[in-house]
């Protein structure tokens, strides 16, 4: 998850939204609520992925179910 944030923000690496999404997805699939939330944000804005509100809501709900 943290490496995904680095790629999303360009902290210490060149910004690469596709790589950030890939890393967020790996962590989200393992149940990381922070990653689920941030990946949901990517789907909301269409950053690094095609915009998909339904997938964003699904991810936000997964994160919320964990208290995020």
Instruction: Quickly count: other Cβ atoms within 10 Å of residue 35's Cβ.
Output: 25
Distance CA 6, CA 58 (A): 24
* Three-class DSSP category at 49: coil
Distance CA 35, CA 32 (A): 5
Residues 42-62: tens digit of each pLDDT: 999 999 999 999 999 999 999
Structure tokens that stand for 4 in this block: 């995904």
Distance CA 10, CA 53 (A): 25
Residues 8-53: tens digit of each pLDDT: 999 999 999 999 999 999 999 999 999 999 999 999 999 999 999 9
């Amino acid at each position: 998850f943290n490496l995904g944030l680095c790629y999303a923000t360009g902290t210490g690496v060149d910004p690469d939204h596709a790589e950030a999404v890939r890393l967020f997805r790996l962590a989200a699939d393992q149940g990381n609520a922070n990653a689920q939330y941030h990946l949901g944000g990517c789907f909301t804005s269409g950053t690094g992925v095609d915009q998909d509100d339904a997938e964003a809501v699904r991810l936000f709900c997964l994160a919320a179910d964990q208290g995020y």
